[in-house]
Amino acid sequence: MNAPIAKPKSARVDAAAIVRSARTVIATEAAAIRALEPRIDDDFVAACGLILGCKGRLIVTGMGKSGHVGRKIAATMASTGTPAFFVHPGEASHGDLGMILPQDVVLALSNSGETDEILFILPVIKRQGIPLIAITGNPDSSLAGQADVHLDAGISAEACPLGLAPTASTTAALVMGDALAIALLEARGFTSDDFARSHPAGSLGRRLLLHISDVMHTGPGIPTISPEASLTEALMEMTRKHLGMTAVIDSDQRLLGVFTDGDLRRALDDDGVDLRNAKVSDLMTRGPKVISADKLAIEAAQLMEKYQIHALLVVDHDQRVVGALNIHDLLRARVV
């Protein structure tokens, strides 16, 4: 029979105590992070060297809270140019050790350095000659002693007032892992384009991978008219293509100008314009802003914002019109 769940005692909230507690936690964990800086030494460089020289993948392992930190480190590594994944040490001894190959490098996390599940699989790892990097809070621990490289993430105190819940220790291990990831990123010359390729579904991926050619209207979808066209013909073309403008082109498809909703409003406001007999070449904007198809879509958005326009024509190196797009195309593509 299950014991009844005790009802929480009602208590008056002491706002000052809550704020004091939270600030103490932040101060304690900030101190733990600051203490890591002088430990970025030759051992840290050696750890980076092992990972950079790895022909396989970085295998991250850890138990409990260290495991949660390890999963995040593996994910950060994988997204910043270091192939990596997490292996649970408990599952490793029941078959998952087959995921770890001789060409890999293992990064093991344990605050105490005495985690049984990790120590149990170390002989198999060492027998295969797999390099071992350990992040622990105890340089004299069993794990630190068996590691090829040990990174000290020790702390003076946990932020938990009971000294039980992993708080400052997990923060220190996480920051040490982030330091490794970013140092490796820079050593590899990893770029924002590389990052976007591993995040194609995210907003960054859309910004860095989507090109003008991916979103522009082409062929019959491009609004075009000749310079001899009437205002009525220009308006009909704009209405058919739904882009709020039309390109004015010569017989070789080269751009002469653009006629937009703004040009129409200015013509309607000009008493000197004979709207019935005017040719579109008399009313168009010459030298409009254009973009090439190989540019990023985000560059089109920046150009539109800078010049307060809502559509762009896409031209090739000979100024032939090859496409067109407007702000709605960028919105649909979730570039803006």
Evaluate whether 221 touches 241 at the Cβ level (below 8 Å): yes
Evaluate whether 302 touches 335 at the Cβ level (below 8 Å): no
Please give the Cα distance from 244 to 55 (Å, whole number).
Answer: 54
* Element (DSSP H or E) covering residue 291: strand 290-291
CA-nearest of 230, 232, 288 to 255 is 288
Please give the Cα distance from 201 to 20 (Å, whole number).
Answer: 41
What residues are designated binding site?
A: 88
What residues are designated binding site for Zn(2+)?
A: 88
Please give the Cα distance from 279 to 174 (Å, whole number).
Answer: 67
User: What letter does residue 68 receive in the DSSP assignment?
Assistant: H
Which stretches of 141-249 are assigned E, i.e. beta strand?
Answer: 149-152, 224-225, 245-249
Evaluate whether 217 touches 325 at the Cβ level (below 8 Å): yes
Evaluate whether 43 touches 133 at the Cβ level (below 8 Å): no
